[in-house]
Amino acid sequence: MKVIITGAAGFLGSRVADFLLNESSLSVTKLVLVDVTKPQSRPDIRVHTLAIDLGAESAAEDLLSDGADVLFHLAAVVSGHAEADFDLGLRVNFDATRNLLEAARRYAPALRFVFTSTVGVFGGTLPQVVDDFTATTPQNSYGIAKAMSELLVNDYSRRGYVDGRVVRLPTISVRAGIANKAVTSFASGIIREPLNGERSICPVPLEQELWLMSPGTAVQNIVHAATLSSSEFGPWRCVNLPGLCVAVRDMVSALRTIAGDQVAALVTYEIDENISRMVASFPSKFNTSRALSLGFVMDTNFVDVIRNYIKYDLNKPINN
């Protein structure tokens, strides 16, 4: 089975690659890792690395002209960056996705196309609990591009051009490494930095609730999406992944439980109106019964999420 990962030099992309090589039930015979900068190679003859700008003309065709069985499309410009640079966000988050779908239609119509979307496709006036079929009304450019891409994946799948599946990721916490330009980056920073003895500024109110998932669970779920049949997904290919609804104050409380008062005191609070407004537009309560019935998994509690971060990621070198 030939598998391609876009965004393979990124935090999740790199971990999906390692999971496929070492833990997945998918029988991978060739793994092509793609990013705008060449991803880190692995000591495995199945691995091939490519530096490709997917926004460039013919890049998608070059990537898929020899066919593929599964493509994990993780390449993206994150929320804060897409808001600051509209043209770049649209080119990477929408145009590249459309180009990949069109190339798959031409060269690999049976391709299992796994697209990572976001709960940021929701916004505005929402029901108290969001489900897979709630209308997407995003309030930011990142969510707009992802929502448009979701519709394309669904239509290309309906027409038989690809076998698409869309997983809407919660905010990932705790991300190892350094802060990125996502507006929800603080959800990792208020845990990661204090555990490293550094101060971290929280830009949203303590009562702000977030829909969270740990990196390890996210990787399992992304790969699981490729193992399901199209009939299991049905005509609507979008699924909200199971997460934890956690208020910021409870995140800091979990940090205090594990690391003590002095570490928790390294979190300070300084409201950023733009970040706070965008984060407040994201829903935090979901009905994920469909995802659970399809075999997607969830974290148990945020204390265990922090413990797993300490066990597997704290003070270890990270490839971002």
Q: Which residues are catalytic?
A: 142
Query: To 10 degrees, what angle do helices 11-22 and 215-227 make?
Result: 60
Secondary structure of residue 306 in the 3-state scheme: helix
If phi > 0 it is left, if psi is from -120 to 50 it is alpha, else beta; for residue 175 that is beta
Report the C-alpha gap between 239 and 290 in whole angstroms.
8
Q: Of 178, 182, 172, 183, nearest to 196 (Cα)?
A: 178
Helix axes 96-107 and 141-158, enclosed angle (nearest 10): 10
> In Å, what is the CA distance from 95 to each residue of 56, 57, 137, 149?
10, 11, 20, 9
Q: Nearest 5°: phi and psi at 222? A: -60, -45
Q: What is the dihedral of CA 303, 174, 42, 57, to 10 degrees?
A: 150
Distances from the Cα of 253 to the Cα of 13, 248, 250, angstroms: 30, 9, 5
Strand 163-169 relative to strand 238-240: parallel, antiparallel, unpaired?
Answer: parallel
